[in-house]
């Protein structure tokens, strides 16, 4: 088992534990906190499902839970496995939903300094939203950190985040209250921005990591006047390159000008241990990414 891990790191230690895995000879990574366990690919039979997404191999049932199996090589457009007996299933748990990802091997768990994880060059994907949230160097290897939330959104847009639940808000007047969003996944950043605009919040500024969000907050401070004229609320993911959401929250709470700004943690990683860290750091609220309407309710409660 990899899941149920206790995060004992001090909040000011900016390291990310990456599980390094192989697909078609390439090195990729996933935050260990997102991994529930790993299994041999050949350990359980996989049942194909008719008319399913082409990247879905089927379903399997280890013990008491049925899970979807996603072929990561097929999704990435890479060659299939050369020896399935060596292949691995990485079981993720995002928003309390387990999904199995078929990869070609697992190498190690690496401790990576967040400041050393670089954003992918925009020329790699052009105007498209890429599947990588960062690139890290470990010894002589470059590891691409994969945006697993984007993969789940692409395969099952309605299942990954319940956007339809926004319909209950109906048509509302626009609010120009400024919102700062820290989110490293371009797909989720766009989705959250569009969702907030749909319910009337038209003044949203985004940052791809905690460091850039912090820099924006420092700029807002330099403008003078009431800080809430420049930022009324901060919404932040936890896992981000360069600086994570917990470090961002800690810096805000230690700043005399910014300390009273509401900060909502919006993440797929609301585990008991990470929730406890958020509480210690005085997060205003913490909510999973499974239902965007829950986020809107919290924003309403602290802005309107």
Residue 290: the pLDDT is: 79
Q: Tokens for 51, please give them.
A: 């008319």
Query: pTM of the prediction?
Result: 0.82
Distance in angstroms (rounded) separating the CA atoms of residues 47 and 219: 54
CA distances from 23 to 74, 75, 118 (A): 10, 11, 21
99 has a pLDDT exceeding 90: yes
Cβ atoms of 166 and 293 within 8 Å: the answer is yes
In the chain, which ranges are continuous DSSP H helix?
72-76, 122-125, 148-155, 157-160, 186-198, 210-222, 245-254, 272-280, 292-303
User: pLDDT of 267-296, one tens digit each?
Assistant: 988 888 889 999 999 999 999 887 789 999
Distance in angstroms (rounded) separating the CA atoms of residues 214 and 220: 10
Residue 5: the pLDDT is: 45
Q: Which of 235, 226, 167 is nearest to 203 (CA)?
A: 235
Residue 8: the pLDDT is: 43
Per-residue confidence at 10, pLDDT binned at 50, 70, 90? very low
User: pLDDT of 155-199, one tens digit each?
Assistant: 886 555 667 788 899 999 999 999 999 998 888 898 899 999 999
Distance in angstroms (rounded) separating the CA atoms of residues 279 and 281: 5
CATH topology of domain 15-157: OB fold (Dihydrolipoamide Acetyltransferase, E2P) (2.40.50)
User: pLDDT of 112-131, one tens digit each?
Assistant: 988 888 877 655 544 445 78
Q: Which CATH number fits domain 161-303: 3.40.50.2300, 1.10.760.10, 2.130.10.10, 3.40.50.300?
A: 3.40.50.2300
Show Cβ contacts of residue 297 under 8 Å, excluding neighbours closer than 6 positions. Answer: none
Cα dihedral value 263, 268, 274, 277, nearest 10: -10
DSSP string computed for 96-135? TEEEEEEESEEEEEEEEEGGG-BPPPHHHHTTS--SEEEE
Per-residue confidence at 1, pLDDT binned at 50, 70, 90? low
Q: Tokens for 296, please give them.
A: 């809107």
Residue extents of the structural domains in the chain? 15-157, 161-303
Residue 3: the pLDDT is: 45
User: pLDDT of 28-75, one tens digit each?
Assistant: 999 998 999 999 999 999 999 999 999 999 999 998 899 999 999 999
Q: Which of 34, 29, 183, 190 is nearest to 116 (CA)?
A: 29
């Amino acid at each position: 088992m990899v899941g149920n891990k206790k995060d004992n790191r001090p909040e000011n230690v900016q390291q990310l534990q990456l599980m390094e895995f192989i697909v078609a000879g390439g090195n990729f990574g996933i935050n260990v906190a997102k991994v529930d366990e790993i299994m041999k690919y050949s350990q359980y039979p996989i049942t194909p499902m008719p008319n399913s997404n082409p990247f879905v191999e089927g379903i399997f049932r280890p013990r008491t839970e049925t899970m979807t199996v996603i072929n990561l090589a097929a999704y990435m457009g890479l060659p299939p496995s050369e020896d399935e007996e060596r292949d691995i299933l990485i079981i993720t748990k995002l928003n309390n939903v387990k999904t199995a990802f078929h990869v070609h091997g697992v190498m190690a768990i690496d401790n990576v300094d967040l400041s050393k994880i670089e954003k992918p060059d925009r020329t790699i994907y052009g105007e498209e939203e890429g599947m990588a949230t960062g690139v890290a160097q470990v010894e002589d290897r470059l590891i691409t950190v994969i945006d697993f939330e984007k993969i789940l959104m692409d395969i099952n847009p309605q299942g990954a985040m319940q956007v339809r639940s926004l319909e209950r808000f109906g048509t509302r007047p626009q609010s120009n209250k400024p919102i700062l969003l820290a989110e490293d996944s371009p797909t989720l950043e766009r989705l959250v921005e569009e969702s907030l605009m749909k319910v009337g919040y038209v003044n949203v500024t985004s940052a791809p990591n905690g460091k850039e969000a912090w820099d924006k907050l420092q700029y807002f401070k330099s403008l003078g006047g009431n800080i809430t004229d420049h930022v009324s609320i901060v919404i932040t993911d936890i896992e981000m390159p360069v600086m994570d959401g917990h470090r961002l929250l800690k810096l805000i709470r230690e700043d005399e000008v910014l300390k009273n700004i509401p900060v909502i943690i919006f993440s797929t990683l609301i585990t008991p241990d990470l929730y406890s860290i958020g509480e210690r750091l005085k997060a205003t609220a913490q909510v999973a990414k499974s239902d965007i309407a829950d986020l809107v309710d919290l924003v309403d409660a602290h802005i309107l």
